[in-house]
Amino acid sequence: MRRTAWERISALSVLAAGLMTMIGAAWAGPAAEVSRAATQTVLKTPAELADYREYSQNEAIAAFLSALDAVSDNVAVSVVGRSLASGTYGAREIFLAVLSAKGAARPEALDRTKLTVMITAAQHGNEQSAKEAVLRLVRDLAAGELRPLLDKVNVLVMPQTNPYGNAMDVRVNELDLDMNRDHVKLEAEGVRAIHRVFRRWTPEATLDVHEKGDDYYRVSIGCVSNVNIGRDLQEYSRSVVLAEVGKALKKKNVAFHEYLVTEDLGTDTSSGAAVAPGPSGPREEMKRFSTTDLNDGRNSLGIFETLSFIQEGASRHDVETLEARTAWQYQGLRAWLESVAGHAAEILQMVRRDRSRLLERAALRGAADPVHLRMKFARDPKEPELALKAFETVASPIRGVLKVDKKAGEPLTNADVAPYPGPRTVKIVDKVVKNWFPNVEPTLSVTRPRGYIIRRDRLDIIETLLGLGVEVGLVDKDGTASAEAYDVKAIEPAGLDYLAPTRIDVAARAVEVPIRKGDFYIDCVQPAANLVPCLLEPQSEFGLIRYWKFRLVPEAGGVFEILRFTGTPGPSVVPYKRWQ
């Protein structure tokens, strides 16, 4: 058996036998019956061992993975990152479990004739059921009833990406960062680890697991929203995967809907900027699908033409409901994985085709195939309203639901009342959303250049690009280059970090510029062909310009420092790598 230093933690404390118990229905109602299959198991998760009375900590996760490695030849565990030590909590390992039919421990050993999927959890530390459900899924894939799925797919799992937030039961990490708004500037070690795993293993499908607030829809899954990502991937996500997940969860009595976000009408606060709360009192609200931003984990991986998703489980964020929440999350994970495994060959072909076509499109640089730098949510005239179910608080607890009609004064017995399918403090009501914005439309687009030129002293930009999987060339001899420089006609900087300039007017001007040995060249014909312009164009709402740490906001009358290369051929370069 493989044994590494961290795996020597005693596994005996996490080995247990016997039938799993069913979840109590105090909070969950009949939906709790989906908790677990009553099958024999050898290994319990840390949460199961604790009877869901506490959240699993990093040490327990390490011991659990160690025990799982000892009983299964289908799992290979490694450390892919380490959080930073803080004044209240030490550094902790970030684990990757690779589940495959042959127990591959390296990308080179993985059977790439199969679809490879990647699941990440707990970027937000106080969304605890994500991690607990993912650990259960790992167990059932490695040594349980889901083992046959490994004949169709390889599964990469990062069960705990924010050890500090998990231990403190807070959303942020040890640097006080919201990790799911850090997928561009990459300051959080957990986020860097996610992108390292993605770059190294290049999965075709991904799922990022979170929790939301208490909601009638116990499981919500969303697909990508950024319109630079292949439309066929988004349509397939909805028409095939989400459709099948919905049917599977309905059979399990788990309410499901595609993931929706509620915002004040006309606003979008998803960038992560520290926007002050709006005025108190009633405000008109809108519903939309989740963010188009690339600093979001799902879109940041989807931009590589990946079939990418986010799962949000309903939550009151308390230990009392942890078992029920974990059950719903697990059923969502399982339904999603069974769906993509059932279409593994089709998804594999579609993603690889789209990735290949992206390279061809980038080489052509056609005006009819631009990169979209800004976009907005829009109404759909064919679907002006959206009907949803929701919880509404009641004055007194709900006892149940009448099975038969009763008139006032007639006796009522226990046999006349069925259990209520939700929390007893709320009733289920039908609602119609008038401000429904299901579409995303581009509002500013540019043609891809051949590449971009970045000065040799901007290693901060280069290190970030490399961390995101962008291929970087190092210029190896002096010369001149045909390029376009952006003259800044007018600019109104944003008042907050994470926001693009409120207004920036630029004009491209053809220039011949010296290019020196040691400068950097970013070719657009690469797997990150859609990401590169989104990051490096000054007018992009997704770009590096919006983060104060990069100091890229120019002055009016100045020139934006990153140049668009337009010459032929490209400059003489060697691949630039970080030797770590």
* pLDDT at residue 33, rounded to an integer: 39
283 assigned to some structural domain: no
Same domain for 414 and 495? no
329 assigned to some structural domain: yes
Same domain for 41 and 140? yes
- What global pTM score does this model have? 0.91
Same domain for 488 and 410? no
* pLDDT tens digits, one per residue of 51-63: 999 999 999 999 9
100 assigned to some structural domain: yes
Percent share of the chain, pLDDT over 70: 92
Segment 408-432 mean pLDDT: 81
Number of structural domains the chain divides into: 3
Band (pLDDT 50/70/90 cuts) for residue 410 is: confident
Segment 361-386 mean pLDDT: 96
Q: Which residue has the tokens 């609602």?
A: 431
Same domain for 333 and 465? no
Same domain for 66 and 155? yes
* pLDDT tens digits, one per residue of 449-490: 999 999 999 999 999 999 999 999 999 999 999 999 999 999
CATH number, domain containing residue 239: 3.40.630.10
C-alpha 517/C-alpha 232 separation (Å) is: 42
Residue 486 CB-density burial (10 A; 0-12 exposed, 13-18 middle, 19+ buried): buried
Nearest to 138 by CA among 248, 19, 47: 47
Same domain for 231 and 325? yes
* pLDDT tens digits, one per residue of 124-180: 999 999 999 999 999 999 999 999 999 999 999 999 999 999 999 999 999 999 999
Segment 221-248 mean pLDDT: 97
Nearest to 465 by CA among 543, 355, 552: 543
* pLDDT at residue 396, rounded to an integer: 79
Same domain for 401 and 493? no
Residue-range definition of the domain harbouring residue 335: 5-267+290-361
C-alpha 515/C-alpha 475 separation (Å) is: 8
Same domain for 186 and 303? yes
**242 pLDDT above the threshold of 50:** yes
How far is the first Cα of the chain from the last one, in angstroms, to the nearest whole number? 28
435 assigned to some structural domain: no
Residue scoring higher pLDDT (1 or 330): 330
In sign, the C-alpha dihedral spanning 51, 57, 63, 65 is: positive
Residue where a domain terminates, one of 379, 399, 430 = 430
By the 8 A CB rule, do 503 and 491 touch? yes
436 assigned to some structural domain: no
372 assigned to some structural domain: no
C-alpha 2/C-alpha 145 separation (Å) is: 23
146 assigned to some structural domain: yes
- Provide the mean pLDDT of the chain: 91
Same domain for 403 and 526? no
Q: Where are the alpha helices (DSSP H) in 10-84?
A: 46-49, 58-71
Segment 378-384 mean pLDDT: 96
Strand order in the sheet with 573-575: 503-515, 479-492, 563-565, 451-454, 520-523, 473-475, 573-575
513 assigned to some structural domain: yes
C-alpha 226/C-alpha 530 separation (Å) is: 11
* pLDDT at residue 421, rounded to an integer: 65
Band (pLDDT 50/70/90 cuts) for residue 330 is: very high
Percent share of the chain, pLDDT over 90: 83
* pLDDT at residue 19, rounded to an integer: 26
* pLDDT tens digits, one per residue of 535-575: 999 999 999 999 999 999 999 999 999 999 998 888 999 99
By the 8 A CB rule, do 565 and 481 touch? yes
Provide the token pair at 138.
């790992």
Same domain for 13 and 59? yes
Considering only 83-97, 280-294, 336-350, 352-366, which range has the smallest mean pLDDT? 280-294
* pLDDT at residue 577, rounded to an integer: 87
* pLDDT at residue 332, rounded to an integer: 98
* pLDDT at residue 394, rounded to an integer: 84
Q: Are strands 285-288 and 436-437 parallel, antiparallel or unpaired?
A: parallel
* pLDDT at residue 171, rounded to an integer: 97
Same domain for 542 and 462? yes
Q: Are strands 219-223 and 307-313 parallel, antiparallel or unpaired?
A: antiparallel
Contacts 24+ apart (CB under 8 A), 19-27: 20/44, 20/48, 23/323, 23/324, 23/327, 24/323, 25/419, 26/320, 27/316, 27/320, 27/321, 27/324, 27/423
* pLDDT tens digits, one per residue of 21-32: 323 333 444 343
Same domain for 177 and 321? yes
By the 8 A CB rule, do 379 and 437 touch? yes
Q: Which residues contact 60 (CB under 8 A, 6 or more apart)?
A: 14, 46
